[in-house]
């Protein structure tokens, strides 16, 4: 079946992998790709067209005209030097934008809204609690939005990846727990299709975060996590 997939933050490595997977699934899917940088979008469009994509639109702003089957939001930054900016990009801008889209989705009475959160939102940790708290806020927001949309047959998904090898994490030392953007993309498509509410990707993060969440504070404070 031909779908209309809209991606905000389409230049993100994870989002790009999602777009590639949708094109692989069906080159006729309609992709609307949104990001702040038009030159990057043009390059992305060229790439996806060469990979077979037949119907790709790009824009710097989302102005929905036709029904959206899947809306993916992938913008995010771990850079918390500017605290305000970190909270804005990871939480405020996304919540504001989604609030504005509520009437549109209420009207169309279907579709999936999938937003990339993070395992970092599961527990506040000295290493990245500004980013983590914004992602935690995002998850609570999505929880509420899901409740709001329950009567409208609109599906809301919070995606919680662990470590993913992307430009955002170029400076990190990579190891066994790391996944490729394509592995995450595969999980995202599956979670959307199965209409899940939240998903840890890869799945083993569910267990890891269960343990991390349950470590008593007295012990937790002795760690450098």
Partner 1 sequence: MWSSWGRPYNIETPLKSFDLTRPITSQFLAIGNRRSYGDSCLITHGQGYDMLHHNHFLEFNPQTGLLKAQAGILFSEILTLCVPKGWFLPVTPGTKWVTLGGAIANDIHGKNHHQVGTIGNFIPRFGLWRPDTGEITCSPTQETDLFRATIGGLGLTGIITWAEIQLIPIQSAHLNVEWLQFSGIDAFLELTKDSQNYPYTVAWLDCSHKTKGNATARGVFIRGTHAVETQNIASLRLIPHTEKSKTIPLDMPSQLLNPLTVSLFNTLYYHKQITAKKQLLQHYDPFFYPLDHLNNWNKLYGKNGFYQYQCVIPFKDGKKHLQEMLNLIANSGFASSLSVLKTFGSIPSPGLLSFPQEGITLCLDFANRGDKTHTLFIQLDAIVLAAKGRLYPAKDATMSPETFKTCYPNWKEFSRYKHPQITSDFWERVTQ
- Residues of this chain that bind ligand NAP (CB under 6 A): 9, 11-14, 35-37, 40, 74-77, 89, 116, 118, 161, 163-164, 166-169
CA angle 202, 177, 73 (to 5 degrees): 45
Element (H, E) at 200: strand 198-201
Least separation, in Å, of the C-beta of 141 and partner 1? 28
Least separation, in Å, of the C-beta of 16 and partner 1? 8
Binding-site size, partner 1 (CB under 8 A): 16
CA angle 21, 77, 170 (to 5 degrees): 70
Contact status: 13 vs partner 1 (CB under 8 A) = yes
Q: Which of 78, 73, 55, 68 is CA-nearest to residue 18?
A: 73
Tokens linked to 162? 């662990």
Q: Which residue, 15 or 68, has its beta carbon nearer to ligand NAP?
A: 15
Q: What DSSP assignment string belongs to 9-66? A: TTTSHHHHHHHHHHHHH-TT-EEEEE-S-HHHHHHHHHHHHHTT--EEEEESS----S
| Among ligand NAP, partner 1, none, partner that 225 touches (CB below 5 to 8 angstroms by kind) | none
How far is Cα 6 from Cα 3, in angstroms, rounded to an integer? 10
Segment near partner 1 (CB under 8 A); pick from 98-106, 130-138, 172-180, 186-194? 172-180
Contacts of 88 (CB under 8 A, 6+ apart): none
| Among ligand NAP, partner 1, none, partner that 161 touches (CB below 5 to 8 angstroms by kind) | ligand NAP
Segment near partner 1 (CB under 8 A); pick from 81-89, 132-140, 170-178, 204-212? 170-178
Contacts of 224 (CB under 8 A, 6+ apart): 126, 127
Residue recorded with tokens 């939001």: 73
Least separation, in Å, of the C-beta of 188 and partner 1? 18
Neighbours of 117 (CB within 10 A): 28
Interface pattern 16-45 for partner 1 (x via CB under 8 A): ---------------------x-----xx-
Question: Which of 2, 51, 153, 194 forms a contact with partner 1 (CB under 8 A)?
Answer: 51
| Among partner 1, ligand NAP, none, partner that 74 touches (CB below 5 to 8 angstroms by kind) | ligand NAP
Contact status: 173 vs partner 1 (CB under 8 A) = yes
Q: Enumerate binding residues for partner 1 (CB under 8 A).
A: 13, 37, 43-44, 46-47, 50-51, 166-168, 170-173, 176
């Amino acid at each position: 079946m031909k779908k209309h997939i809209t991606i905000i933050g389409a230049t993100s490595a994870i989002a790009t992998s999602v777009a590639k997977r949708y094109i692989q699934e069906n080159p006729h899917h309609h992709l609307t790709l949104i990001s702040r940088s038009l030159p990057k979008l043009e390059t992305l469009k060229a790439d996806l067209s060469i990979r077979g994509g037949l119907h790709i639109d790009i824009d710097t702003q989302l102005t929905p005209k036709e029904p959206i089957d899947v809306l993916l939001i992938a913008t995010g930054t771990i850079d918390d030097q500017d605290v305000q900016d970190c909270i804005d990009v990871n939480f405020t801008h996304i919540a504001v934008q989604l609030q504005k889209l509520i009437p549109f989705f209420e009207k169309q009475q279907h579709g999936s809204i999938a937003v990339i959160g993070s395992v970092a939102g599961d527990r506040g940790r000295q290493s990245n609690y500004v980013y983590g708290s914004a992602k935690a806020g995002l998850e609570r927001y999505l929880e509420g939005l899901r409740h709001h949309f329950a009567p409208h047959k609109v599906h809301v998904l919070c995606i919680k990846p662990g470590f993913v090898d992307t430009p955002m994490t170029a400076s990190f030392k990579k190891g066994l727990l790391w996944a490729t953007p394509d592995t995450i993309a595969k999980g995202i498509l599956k979670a959307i299709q199965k209409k899940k509410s939240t998903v840890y990707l890869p799945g083993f993060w569910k267990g890891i975060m269960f343990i991390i969440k349950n470590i008593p504070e007295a012990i937790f404070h002795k760690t450098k996590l």
